[in-house]
Amino acid sequence: MSYDLAVWEGERPADDKTAGQVFGNLYDRYIEGDAEEPPSERIAAYVAALLERWCDITEDEEDTSPWSTGPLIDEASGPLIYFAMRWSMAEEASAYAAAVAESMGLVCFDVQLDRLRP
């Protein structure tokens, strides 16, 4: 079981409902869409910041990484990253991921709770 977050570039939506709609549109375009787009510079920098704290699961020899898939950068497309964390580490990792997103001026959306973070 995993815990999913979405982080994207753009204006912070006014409320959770609007954020859900924005996420849905971005997901349809960048994750489900046919065109593969490299991560934007800001999203790549965000992923790098996450990996400074915890290594990529593909390099995790000690089973300490919270990421469920890897390489983590492969979960990003254009201005969006939609990524999963191991449930056992989700509270700490999602709080950190949300704080990093906020510090970088990115929007963080909790897919499970259908709400903006933090």
Judge whether residue 1 has pLDDT over 80.
no
Model pLDDT for residues 20-78, shown as the tens digit of each residue: 999 999 999 999 988 789 999 999 999 999 999 999 999 988 889 999 999 999 999 99
Q: Residue 1 burial (CB < 10 Å; 0-12/13-18/19+)?
A: exposed
Q: Please give the pLDDT value at position 17.
A: 97
Q: Under a CB-based contact definition with an 8 Å cutoff, are residues 81 and 7 in contact?
A: yes
User: Which residue range(s) make up the domain with 54?
Assistant: 2-117
Give residue-wise pLDDT tens across range 5-26.
Answer: 999 999 999 999 999 999 999 9
Residue pair 79/86 in contact by the 8 Å Cβ criterion:
no
What's the pTM value of the predicted model, to 2 decimals?
0.95
The answer on pLDDT for 112 being more than 80 is yes
What is the count of structural domains for the chain? 1
